[in-house]
């Protein structure tokens, strides 16, 4: 029932929110706009692309040369897990959920909207992990 209400309200609320954000965006100074773009757009895109290479470090061999890059991706992962992704999913990471993958392991079992968002992201991470599954998905997913 709750999910149906969310699905019905989304087409109504989304255009209003989009217009409000576009109006407020132009009131912000350029430096604040740049910081918000880095935090909510560029860093998440870097993490999504960087994860594909960084996870290959687990293969060993020549892939170990990616260690410096992997460390940079890990730092961005931890930063985004506690800031941007916590806001996106309206879910603070748990005590032992340092990386976004650890946070996703809990969220994929959520029956609500967080689970609907978390499961495709978990499938993406499992796709590139050399030792699957990176995140265990529930049987019904």
CA 118 from centroid of its chain's CA atoms: 8
112 is a domain residue: yes
111 is a domain residue: yes
Question: Are 97 and 106 in contact, with CB atoms under 8 Å apart?
Answer: yes
69 is a domain residue: yes
79 is a domain residue: yes
| Structural domains of the chain, count | 1
In the three-class reduction of DSSP (H, G, I as helix; E, B as strand; rest coil), residue 48 is classed as helix
120 is a domain residue: yes
83 is a domain residue: yes
Give the contacts of 132 (CB within 8 A, at least 6 positions apart).
126
Q: How many other β-carbons are positioned within 10 Å of the β-carbon of residue 68?
A: 8
18 is a domain residue: no
CA 44 from centroid of its chain's CA atoms: 7
State which residues form the domain around 43.
Answer: 29-128
81 is a domain residue: yes
**What are the pLDDT tens digits along the chain (141 aa)?**
455 666 677 778 888 888 888 888 888 888 888 888 899 999 999 999 998 888 888 788 888 888 899 999 999 999 999 999 999 888 899 889 999 999 999 999 998 888 899 999 988 888 888 777 888 888 765
């Amino acid at each position: 029932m709750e999910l149906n209400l969310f699905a019905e309200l989304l087409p109504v609320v989304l255009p209003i929110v989009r217009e409000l954000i576009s109006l407020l965006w132009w009131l912000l100074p350029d430096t604040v706009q740049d910081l918000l773009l880095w935090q909510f757009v560029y860093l998440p895109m870097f993490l999504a692309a960087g994860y594909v290479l960084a996870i290959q470090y687990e293969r060993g061999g020549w892939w170990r040369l990616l260690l410096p890059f992997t460390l940079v991706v890990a730092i961005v992962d931890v930063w985004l897990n506690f800031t941007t992704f916590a806001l996106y999913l309206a879910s603070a990471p748990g005590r032992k959920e340092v990386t976004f993958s650890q946070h996703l392991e809990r969220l994929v079992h959520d029956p609500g909207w967080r689970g609907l968002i978390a499961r495709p992201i978990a499938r993406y991470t499992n796709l590139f992990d050399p030792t699957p599954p990176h995140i265990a998905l529930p049987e019904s997913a």
